[in-house]
Amino acid sequence: MDLEFLKRLRLVGTMEGVSTLVLFFVAMPLKYLADVPLAVTVVGPIHGVLFILLASMCVLAIERVPIDKRLGYAGIAAAFIPFGPFIMDRWLSEIERNA
């Protein structure tokens, strides 16, 4: 079992989850309510890179950790939902704890 990869996956998931919340609850309100579009210009690409990295790592984790295919694809689906990566982290932490 590749626990180092699992730890990196959990870290990227947390970072992606935080970036989603910052985008939705800080940057977008600044853009639309305070007319500060720069916030989305900065946070949006960071979130995009983290999203792609998380989705890629979920697919790689199926072989590298290994995790069940359904869990790997659930990780990708969770990245589309605010707070989803934090729920996914709970499942991944159980795998890490039981290793």
pTM for this entry: 0.92
Rounded to an integer, what distance in angstroms lies between the CA atom of residue 85 and that of residue 18?
9
Measure CA 11 to chain center: 8
Residue identified by tokens 């589309």 is 80
Closest CA to 31 of 18, 20, 40: 40
Burial label for 18, CB within 10 Å (0-12, 13-18, 19+), is middle
The per-residue pLDDT for range 4-53, each reduced to its tens digit, is 999 999 999 999 999 999 999 999 999 999 999 999 999 999 999 999 99
Alpha-carbon span 52 to 97, nearest angstrom: 26
Confidence band for 99, pLDDT divided at 50, 70 and 90? confident
